[in-house]
């Protein structure tokens, strides 16, 4: 465990110059903290991408990795449901020319409802946790619940229950709901992690957190670090 901790600290430290932790490192950090992530690799060449996709099987997801691209969807840097090697090679060529390209994430497709799990170190209240309906429309629907961390199990349940989309999570019109116990546990682990990372970070977006009746996986994550000269205390 302490090895995991020091590795997590090392990931944060190494990202200081960029100001944020890129997706592959953020996912490693969440893995170290005990969260589930989809099988993925960071491919720097088309060959690496094709080999990995061949191993895990199609369809796959591909996402651009660049320290200069904070919102990948905005620049067309996310492709889902890639069906074969030809498609994957084509996506690699497209991503290669994007600003600051260092590689491409190739990842298994995980089914589930798209949630956002976030954290923010607030000036007045310190660490806060956010749960909401995720995906690219997150700022349109604004269906979110906010709490000051650390949260209790009661808080976690109230956050889930407070979402307008709550019925989607419990199973709506024949569609399967999510494992609420697993989601609750994910919220509680996230709260502990945020308390531990504390002042070193500015905010975290796990978007989407893909939840189904079988899993809750961190499908994308970014950790924005606090600028060195800023502190929360006045």
Binding stretches for other proteins (CB under 8 A): 20, 70, 116, 118-120, 122-126, 128, 130, 132, 138-139, 142, 144-148, 155, 202-205, 207, 222, 224, 231-234
Strand 201-211 to strand 113-122: parallel, antiparallel, or no bridges (unpaired)? Answer: antiparallel
Outline where DSSP puts E strands in the chain. 20-21, 40-43, 60-65, 78-82, 103-108, 113-122, 126-133, 144-148, 201-211, 216-218, 221-225
Residue 218 three-state SS: strand
Q: Which two tokens stand for residue 31?
A: 């893995």
The sign one gets for the Cα dihedral 14, 208, 56, 179 is: positive
| In the complex, least distance from residue 207 CB atom to other proteins, rounded to whole angstroms | 6
- Scored b (16 or more CB within 10 A) or e, 8-24 reads beebbeebeeeebbbbb
| In the complex, least distance from residue 194 CB atom to other proteins, rounded to whole angstroms | 11
User: Please, which residue, 50 or 219, has the CB nearer to other proteins?
Assistant: 219
Peptide bond into 150 cis (omega under 30): yes
User: Please, which residue, 108 or 155, has the CB nearer to other proteins?
Assistant: 155
| In the complex, least distance from residue 190 CB atom to other proteins, rounded to whole angstroms | 12
User: Please, which residue, 25 or 205, has the CB nearer to other proteins?
Assistant: 205
User: Please, which residue, 105 or 144, has the CB nearer to other proteins?
Assistant: 144
Q: Which two tokens stand for residue 136?
A: 């690219």
Distance CA 200, CA 204 (A): 11
Q: Which two tokens stand for residue 105?
A: 């994430």
| In the complex, least distance from residue 151 CB atom to other proteins, rounded to whole angstroms | 8
User: Please, which residue, 175 or 233, has the CB nearer to other proteins?
Assistant: 233
| In the complex, least distance from residue 129 CB atom to other proteins, rounded to whole angstroms | 9
User: Please, which residue, 8 or 26, has the CB nearer to other proteins?
Assistant: 26
| In the complex, least distance from residue 144 CB atom to other proteins, rounded to whole angstroms | 5
């Amino acid at each position: 465990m302490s090895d995991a901790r020091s590795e997590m600290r090392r990931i944060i430290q190494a990202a200081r110059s960029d100001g944020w932790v890129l997706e592959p490192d953020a996912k490693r950090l969440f893995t170290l903290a005990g969260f589930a992530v989809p099988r993925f690799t960071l491919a720097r060449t088309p060959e690496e991408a094709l080999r990995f996709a061949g191993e895990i099987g199609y369809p796959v997801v591909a996402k651009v990795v660049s320290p200069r691209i904070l919102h990948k969807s905005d620049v067309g840097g996310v492709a889902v449901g890639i069906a074969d090697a030809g498609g994957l090679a084509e996506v690699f060529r497209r991503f290669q020319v994007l600003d600051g390209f260092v590689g491409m994430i190739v990842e298994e497709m995980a089914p589930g409802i798209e949630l956002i799990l976030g954290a923010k170190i607030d000036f007045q209240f310190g660490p806060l946790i956010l749960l909401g309906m995720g995906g690219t429309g997150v700022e349109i629907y604004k269906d979110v619940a906010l709490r000051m961390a650390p949260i209790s199990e009661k808080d976690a349940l109230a956050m889930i229950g407070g979402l307008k989309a709550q019925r989607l999570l419990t199973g709506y019109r024949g569609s399967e709901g999510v494992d609420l116990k697993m989601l609750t546990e994910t919220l509680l682990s996230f709260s502990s992690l945020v308390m531990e990372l504390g002042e070193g970070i500015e905010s975290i977006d796990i978007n989407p957190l893909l939840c189904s009746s079988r899993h809750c996986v961190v499908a994308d994550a970014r950790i924005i670090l606090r600028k060195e000269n800023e502190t929360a205390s006045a």
